[in-house]
A and B are shown apart, each in its own frame.
Chain A
């Protein structure tokens, strides 16, 4: 049982090892908006997202106590750590989006939606 819990911690911490690698790739691809940097950023964002989605499947083999048994190990902590690490990955992706200027956070991003003023007088 303990072995399983230990194994589950290993699985949970797994994504953390890829984070430095992703950061390095992100740094290499630069902050300019190009096809390569967008691909990398997309990957940085999508991978943790997909992983979070598949959190149950990832931990399912470790949760089962025995074959056919309905009893389950409590891996909530590991799962939470797993999700948190992946969320950190997503946050890193979002940070990359923002430094690339792809997040609509500046006033200029909403400029096109500002209605033009009406004029209360006309003159010639």
Chain B
């Protein structure tokens, strides 16, 4: 007896000790930040890359990108030192780096010259030129003035000298718009502004125009034109700059075999001739006609040395490149040129490092810092690079093994040196940026910047892991899966195996702890391989792990796991070598666990060559083409106006049908109706389309700037026509309605429901007195926003896309919609949310809501109900747009402290959980606000008892952006353009993905994690407690029986 008491005591103490231990172990769990969410900081595909040593010890790779980002990358690992994201309507046109400073020129109508600190990325000083009436698009250039810290720039219609000391230009010279100036060459005392002269009646030829300007006073020294039939940016024209030798322009006329050399500032004589044969003996006249000229110093103004350029020509079917150096011969000051390097360059991309080192910090070592790199594809799946400094033989060489089907061909290359070791930075048309070194076939580092150009995203459901054993069996011995018994056994084997591994890894206590050690900043930035070892095919029990398939405008389709952002596969889509600009991604065959057919993803894009619609279908799990025999990218031969997924399946390929609307402008003038194409296009597919029980409607003219929206109904062909269906046959459409905007109004945007946003679990809104306001749920609802004339103000129209009926309209007279203050809208269930910039009193259809003037971003919420009276419902079981049921609309307006760049809503499996409205903020945050906060039914006065019962709180105009609701927490998610959401198997939880420049992914539970155990729940405690109770029962049972027996005898 004693022993049993001590035993139970021991069990208790063990339990306590274990529970204590376990809580210590759980205490080691890192915060969930960075574990359930992930973030890829990106910069976009660079348009210019300058590796530059900005001080004695530090080097950065400075980049401006087509996603309006200025960034400095670490040359040793490619990490972002710093980045500055410019406004979406502010492209960066020029980049210069000098003496620890970075100079940028940006903007379309408004020009901004900014100087940044090269090491920190902070703004040193800047200057902005307001929009100029005489501004010529395409003009714009900026340069530092050596030694003074000042800069000169072509902004708008003016040439200005800027200085950090004052806000206004030192001098400003109007250029009178006689040319679009694209280049500034800074000499010792004067600067040359060079551009394409505007052709006039007198001089219809294209010529270059030069304005020589005194740097001190801004006075025009001289202005002249030269170089017949030449244009800036031509591949037969180069600029050469040298302090010592002067500044030159060298060009070759189209049918000429000689070089024309013009010294800037000297127009008498206008040019000298130079025969290239003096440089390259083997050049014959016919070779010369094939030649092109390239600049090799990417920052020529830095060049203290001999100016250089490269020429590429064809000889005997081979491509050759020579690097030419210019010098002045002896005392005679006679211009001479000599060959520095010459090599074969078939199909090569050339790149060079100019002198990107500040004075006194030239690269050390035997090699010259003025190297030219030639990168060419040597085999199907690799590229080789050769670095030439002089002569025929490369100084360094190396190669990179990579699959061009995943990242596309190399489009640019820049060599640089890290500790005297050469590196070659290559960029592919798909958006890959990789640094290569000698002696390795793998890159030193790489960044995949294609995802910064993501245009669309689709989620693919993955098979649950319980069937992974079945999945494996399917691959090896599919007959095993025939019987439910073997499937049952397989599942049990899988469960036992996972349990065993759980036990051997210490009941999961030590697993997460080891994760914790790796959960630093480095682990959070998404680590990946150039080529993923194996595609991700198995999901998890809760549906948290899916594939997010992104299509980018750089032609890349990439599948990333929603867990950790691990890449599953990547494919580069090109048509004749040119990347396809992808616009839409559709999952056209879902992942079916027991089906032998693979899931499919169909991407729709536009050809960059013809502008036609292109379609490609891939295996969604592997990224492989479905039919390896035929062409992957199919050109449909027409341009589509609209594409959508149809609720029908092609009987042949078992994939969802896509509908393409074709409507070319010429036809529109002739009042012809658009046509509908089906993909895949076959007689059986059209039969499947015609089998859809409801008529199919679509609208057109919903693009920005439109003044008329029209609705059409797709018509099915007659049986005979169906049988004679050809690949490129089209269905006709009948015009149903036309919605003309009032005079002077132009469309800003048309918003409809995002996929799944219309479905709801509850058909009505329960009020405090338990009556119901029935929701107006119309899947055909479209929110139109229009600009009213030039005076500002917007009008909102809710229309029905089937009948064209106007359901509701309102006017915001003081709203302003511009590029910087865009209009955003989203529809969710019976709610429309939109945001705009407001200046003045807030009026909603004439009724003043706030007497004070509002200057800020206003979020308006409109809820649509079937009736204004509770318990009043349209009794019909079928909703038809032709019944013309008008909604009762309740609206409310809120003032947002900061603008959003994208709106979204969360989606859960059954739509039972409340929804969060997701705001991608301009301050690089992703915010989730609960639906209730935006409720238009919030009372203006203190809520009554019924209103309290309904869960309403008193209305307050400011929308509180609670920092606790920032889903992106400390991550700076830059440039969010779209927000996508997908449900999981847990009703409480939704997956959320924000993309644009950066890519951010997380999951959120708007109503709380009511169907999950909290992370602090101790399974070990539960097991130990249960075991202790069982032990207690086993020990206590005999004791009690003995006591009862003894009592019976007493």
Contact = CB atoms under 8 A, between A and B. Distances in A.
Contact of B695 (A107, A121, A124): A121
B916 interface: no
Contact of A118 (B647, B695, B698, B879): B879
Contacts of A123: 696-699, 779-780, 801-802
A76 interface: no
Contact of A117 (B771, B871, B876): B876
B770 A119 contact: no
B14 interface: no
Interface stretch (B398-406, B758-766, B814-822): B758-766
Contact of B647 (A101, A106, A107, A122): A122
A interface, how many residues as a size bin? Answer: 10 to 19
A60 to B, nearest CB: 39
Given A111-B766, A114-B763, A121 B771 contact: no
Given A117-B877, A121-B697, A111 B772 contact: yes
B777 interface: yes
B483 interface: no
B802 A115 contact: no
Nearest to A116: B763
Contacts of A114: 763-764
Contacts of A109: 770
Contacts of B770: 101, 106-109
A119 to B, nearest CB: 5
A98 to B, nearest CB: 11
Given A106-B771, A108-B771, A119 B764 contact: no
A111 B780 contact: no
A112 B779 CA distance: 20
A70 B769 CA distance: 58
Nearest to A124: B644
A78 to B, nearest CB: 41
Interface residues of B, number: 33
A112 B911 CA distance: 13
B694 interface: yes
Contact of A124 (B659, B769, B877, B878): B659
Contacts of A111: 762-764, 766, 772
Contacts of A115: 877
Contacts of B699: 123
Nearest to B661: A124
B279 to A, nearest CB: 62
B642 interface: yes
B505 interface: no
Nearest to A117: B879
A34 B642 CA distance: 56
B88 interface: no
Contacts of B871: 107
A121 B698 CA distance: 11
Contacts of A117: 777, 876-879
Contacts of A121: 694-697, 780, 802, 880-881
Interface in A71-124: 101, 106-109, 111-112, 114-124
B876 A124 contact: no
Contacts of B771: 106-108
Contacts of A112: 762
Nearest to B880: A120
Given A112-B762, A124-B659, A107 B772 contact: yes
B1033 interface: no
Contacts of A119: 694, 779, 878-880
B764 A108 contact: yes
Contacts of B802: 121, 123
B853 interface: no
Nearest to A101: B770
A33 to B, nearest CB: 12
Interface in B789-837: 801-802
B697 A120 contact: no
Residue of A106, A111, A118, A121 with most chain B CB atoms under a 10 A cut-off: A121
Contacts of B766: 108, 111
B692 interface: yes
A120 B877 CA distance: 10
A111 B877 CA distance: 15
A122 B692 contact: yes
B772 A118 contact: no
In this complex, which of B647, B772, B877 has the most chain A Cβ atoms within 10 angstroms of its Cβ? B772
A8 to B, nearest CB: 44
Which one of A109, A114, A123 has the greatest number of beta carbons of chain B within 10 Å? A123
Contacts of A124: 642, 644, 659, 696-698, 801
B868 to A, nearest CB: 16
A115 B878 CA distance: 10
A94 B737 CA distance: 56
Contacts of B642: 124
A92 B987 CA distance: 40
B705 to A, nearest CB: 21
Nearest to A118: B878
Contacts of B881: 121
A71 to B, nearest CB: 49
Contacts of B777: 116-117
Contact of B772 (A108, A116, A120, A122): A108
Interface string B684-713: 000000001011111100000000000000
A15 B940 CA distance: 50
A63 B694 CA distance: 74
A112 B762 CA distance: 6
B326 to A, nearest CB: 62
A120 B764 contact: no
Interface in B625-658: 642, 644, 647
A114 B764 CA distance: 10
A117 B880 CA distance: 10
Contacts of A107: 770-772, 870-871
A115 B698 CA distance: 27
Interface centre among A106, A115, A117, A122 (most CB of B within 10 A): A122
A66 B706 CA distance: 102
Contacts of B877: 115, 117-118
A124 B692 CA distance: 14
A118 B769 CA distance: 29
Interface string B842-884: 0000000000000000000000000000110000111111000
Nearest to B761: A112
Nearest to A105: B770
Contacts of B878: 117-120
A122 B879 contact: no
A120 B876 CA distance: 12
Nearest to B881: A121
A101 B767 CA distance: 13
Nearest to A122: B694
Nearest to A112: B762
Interface string B776-789: 01011000000000
Most chain B CB neighbours (cut-off 10 Å) among A107, A111, A112, A124: A124
A94 to B, nearest CB: 17
A45 to B, nearest CB: 21
A108 to B, nearest CB: 4
Contacts of B694: 119-122
Contacts of B769: 106
A116 B698 CA distance: 23
A47 B762 CA distance: 38
Interface string B881-903: 10000000000000000000000
A36 B777 CA distance: 41
14 contacts: A106-B769, A106-B771, A106-B772, A108-B764, A108-B770, A109-B770, A111-B764, A117-B876, A121-B780, A121-B802, A121-B881, A122-B696, A123-B699, A124-B801
Given A106-B770, A122-B692, A122-B695, 10 more contacts: A106-B771, A108-B766, A109-B770, A111-B762, A117-B876, A120-B694, A121-B694, A121-B695, A122-B697, A123-B801
7 nearest A-B pairs in the assembled complex, by CB-CB distance: A106-B770, A124-B644, A123-B697, A108-B766, A117-B879, A123-B801, A120-B880
